[in-house]
Amino acid sequence: MSCWVMTTGEAGMRSQALGLAERIGMSFVEKTVSLQAPWRWLPGHMAPGALSGVGASSDPLEPPWPDLLITCGRRSVALSIAIKKASGGKTFTVHIQDPRVPCRYFDLIAAPRHDRVVGDNVYPTLGALHKVTPEKLGIAAEQFKDQFAALSKPLIAVLIGGTSKSYNMSPQIADRIAQQLKALTQQGCGMVLTFSQRTGDANKEIISGQLADTDVMIWDGHGENPYFAMLALADYILVTSDSVSMITEAASTGKPVLTMALEGGSKKFDAFHGMMQGEGITQPFAGMLVGESHTPLDETSRIAAIVLEKLNEQVS
């Protein structure tokens, strides 16, 4: 059976859609798409002839249509609906996240619980889908174990996000986080830290400056990314509160996950953090290492199994 993974190319969208496709286990083709005006301005279910509006930079969308189409993000909605129609209803369409159109336009929707999408074909997930698997973590651990060997124990993986639509990372917050991290190193902890593009150069300088001459390895963006090895080899994982994806990926390890608060938030983020804390998966970080191991969160495998079951029902 054939499968397409279709997004508009954002890293977060690709990670979720590719992660689900990998877990399903079918071979697949990745499609990166865009829509021209006026189609891109219209609601996804009110964009007739959307296939005619595919942008010049898009990958080609033409028959034979796939048996399975996985999309993520609202800007791929119109094309998913159009492909379903062009296939005569044969393409099984799966959408990740809230499509912001009536659920009946898809065969299956995997939306985060905190989005509160409701429908007979909706399968809510705790957090985001992703590409992290025990196998990938094992490979990364073996690859980086020698580089991490000199760091003290317990080893802390620190995942720093930054300013987003819902959160703000000010220099004052960066300084507070840096001082808390420095205090942990002074207590004998080792640390591996990575920034995101949202962190900003000024905040990076504040944190890196505070942690100079401590038992901390900071990935500078050069060479192979140690992200999976950080998750695999850490005893504790600290994550800023702005990223559902990073927190969910950390939770997939089953290790204690502590969230570092930034300014701001939203109803959806508050709901997400409340759910994660209510399940005993995360705790707020207040400068101390607390929390225990938990059952690894593996929503991607759960959704993959449901997709395969529903797809097989349609084929048979």
CATH number at residue 60: 3.40.50
| Joined tokens for residue 304 | 């993959």
Residues 83 and 106: beta-carbon distance below 8 Å: no
Say how many domains are in the chain: 2
Do 195 and 261 belong to one domain?
A: yes
Q: What's the pTM value of the predicted model, to 2 decimals?
A: 0.94
Does residue 290 sit within a domain? Answer: no
Please tell me the distance from the alpha carbon of residue 143 to that of residue 260, in angstroms, as a whole number: 28
Q: Which amino acid is at 309?
A: E
Domain co-membership, 117 together with 141: no
User: Is 89 in the same domain as 144?
Assistant: no
Residue 273 forms part of a structural domain: yes
Residue 295 belongs to a domain: no
Residues 109 and 191 in one domain: no
pLDDT of residue 130: 97
pLDDT of residue 107: 97
Q: Which residue has the tokens 């994550």?
A: 239
Query: Does some domain include residue 182?
Result: yes
Report which of 214, 249, 231 is spatially closest to residue 144, judged by C-alpha positions. Answer: 231
Residue 191 lies in a domain: yes
Within-domain flag for 293? no
Rounded CA gap, 137 and 189, in Å? 22
pLDDT of residue 312: 87
Question: Could you list the mean pLDDT of each consecutive 10-residue stretch along the chain, which spans 316 residues?
Answer: 96 96 97 94 92 94 97 95 97 97 97 95 97 97 96 97 96 97 96 96 96 92 93 98 97 98 96 97 96 95 97 82
Within 10 angstroms of residue 211's Cβ, the number of other Cβ atoms is 20
Query: Within 13 Å of residue 89, how many CA atoms lie on the same side as its CB?
Result: 3
Q: What CATH number did the domain enclosing 193 receive? A: 3.40.50.2000
Domain region containing 58: 3-126+300-315
